[in-house]
A and B are shown apart, each in its own frame.
Chain A
Amino acid sequence: MVSLKPEIRIGFYVCHCGHNIASMVDCADVAAYVGQLPGVVLARDYKYMCSDPGQELIQKDIAEFGLNRVVVASCSPLLHEHTFRAAVAAGGLNPFLFHMVNIREHASWVHTDRAAATAKAKVLARAAIRRAALARELPQRQIPINPGVLVVGGGIAGIHAALTLAEAGKHVWLIEREASIGGHMAKFDKTFPTLDCAACILTPKMSAVGAHPNITLWSHSDVVQVDGYVGNYTVKVRRRPRYVNEELCTGCQECIGNCIYKEPKFPDEFNEGLGKRKPIHIPFPQATPQVVLIDPQVCLNFKRGVLTDRCKKTCVEACGDRKAIDFTQKEETKEIQVGAIIVATGFKPFDVRRVPQYGYGTYPNVYTALEVERLVNASGPTAGEIVLRDGRRPSAIAIIHCVGSRDKKTNRWCSRVCCMYSMKLAHLLKEHSGAELYNFYIDIRAPGKGYEEFYDKLNEEGVHFIRGRVGEVTDWAMIPEEEGKLVIRVEDTLAGVVRRIPVDMVVLATGLEPHADAQAVRRLFNMSCGTEGFFLERHPKLAPVSTFTDGVYIAGCCQGPRDIPDTVAQAGAAAAEALALIDRGHILQEPNTAHVLADCSGCKSCLPLCPYTAIGFDEATHQAVINEALCKGCGTCVAACPSGSIGQHLFEDDEVFSEIEGLLTADPEPTPALAATP
């Protein structure tokens, strides 16, 4: 063994991870190989390094063998670097004298040749050993956490998360894009499988949000900028004008009755355009906040959004000395400080015009599921009567499942809720109209509590289920009975025949998609998206509400299609994760900041490179100065410095060079130059 001064004493551990690593990498062989590398005092292989006994083993060895560096070859550092750093720290070493080698995600799981995978593991370990010898002790910096939480999106997920946090005594800003919170759930009539009324269970929670002293609710608003980092986010929120002062409006709605338009004339968004509203309106009776708003695109006092003062302003008269209506209201941008963010921006229903063969927009009696939710709703545009767009009442209704789901041409995923809501709508439509109901499905997916039983119940009610993806909806009649009807053409895959079924009404069970602006939102919060565009959780099983950005959590359908119970559970989980973070009071910052070395020549090349303006220039010393509080540790300036005068903790040049060398050295030759840096 070459003697090193001060002596480098590395302990090396290779983890079997049960069979995950051991089945493809010969762990004992890797340990034996690494054991004879310079500076390595001991090399062990062990079944589960992340387990308590594994961590205790490291601590014991540090004491017993006087280790001053620890290298563990196991899974990804993104998963367990924290764990092992903590173990090393508990053993009395500076946690940054630890280095991790990824031989699971990057070797055993992705290779099929055991010899090649073992060889790769050895090379990766060798590089890590060289690099670890150069590791420096670094201070662990603590940063206080702002206890406020931002919740983005006021659907059932955002509402539940906000209430949970507010009940725990945290201040919550709830930002909603629409004029009222409630989201899609507020539009639903009943919820499956219990058939309890959606409004009856949702509106109490909505008013609780509106009344909670710990919740600041900003509806009709968008998050436009997010800066900072975990524990200390600065968020800019744009509050769009509703032309009604929220503080002064009492929600009496006298203005609506006195609008110059005697009758509602414009498509009502809440009723999916099936009903009408006036320019001054409240989205729906239980809207929260209970504040009216003016649509400047259609209000007579505006001309396509521009104030003209043309109207007699009967609404202002009706409002009287409450003086809540303010035509001059301007857009405002507010800035808030929070420690954690929960993104619960929900979904967009699939645009059924993308499947033209189902005739939406061509045949008036083809409806989307959300339209039917309003149609069967007692407070909907037809007061719950099933009256079609052409005024008729249906005697036969088709529900087409999987529209925009499980289809390579549109979206490949199963939207999870359509089978159940289709059955719910079938039940409600039958109850309200007495019509014959036909469900056209690929598979019935009813895997929830009481869901399969609900399917049974529908079968007993005499609802028809025909297995087959519908080919087209057409008004092409072949026999007199089909004249004036919509004909469903479908291959009944159980009977093995092609059927033509004439109906009066078609309901398209639209799938769930990410919002059109999901990519912009993702960038705003520095999250990742899956290929389909839903926000990506940190780990599909073990970190389902965390994202790759610390302090940013996700809940509800923005992460993938799910039903109300799952959404609420996930929102509760996100709130709990946020609580766990902010109740710690501080976070430990990764000390990977850049620092200027003594030989800086003052060329100023680095100054414009830093996106965080963390680099300043000291005129007295004529050298660059890095503000470590602002530095985020990307290392761009380090790579760009022409004289190599900027270093980066944890990623110093000599560390990276030694890793490169370790990866490429052909034989395990002793390196006498190995010495610790003070």
Chain B
Amino acid sequence: MSTLDRRRILGPANVKPLIFGLSSSQSKQENKIEEEEEEDINSQISKTFIKTGLITNANGSSYLEYNGNIISVSIYGPRPVRGTFTEKTSLDVHLDDNTETISDLLNKKFCNYIENNFTTVINLNKYPKSGISIFINVLSINNFQKYKYKLLSLISDATTIALINSGIEIIDIVSSTFDLNSNTVISFIKSNEIVGLLSDSNKIYKDVNDFNKIIKKLGNDSNIVKNSLINYLMSGN
């Protein structure tokens, strides 16, 4: 996306758009999330709302709501990148946090995670000399301190749906799941192969098997998530 507005469509640079709806203080409300519910992936899925294609300007977009977290993802591209010849497309991720809860460092970490995930998955060779931009808009967050990586897993799922909506070729559906206890998010493709892994807690793994169990559990959950994503996609037909 260009920041240069040569056609003067957006008006002066310091113009602030009108905002309707919740102010940021209201959207920061913290609904209580039951920890038992975090364990029950099926009930989470039944509470998730997804819609695609809402942003007509973008090549693809998705909107996802779950338990006070609202995310919208829009995909722009593939579009030309001038300069030296590139055989593969380059991916580029931006996260815009309307609630102003995500710190800059974490913002970069999220972007990096999404970028790593999807460079693995997008069929990059199909789009030479071009770039794909992923814009993530976080509209509302529920209990960020505890569930920040839950948010990341939701962002990743929303991005998958948006990419599919855009018609950009991807080798498989990425489904991400989150483990509260170890503060881990893992993104899976195919039969439980991992494209993204992020674990950040002060937990000490005395036994390597503990981590294995987390991977197994998240792998099982991700299959359920994947199936429901497929169900959603196929229901459009």
Our verdict on whether A and B bind, yes or no, reads no
Q: Which residues of B contact A (CB under 8 A)?
A: none
Q: Which residues of A contact B (CB under 8 A)?
A: none
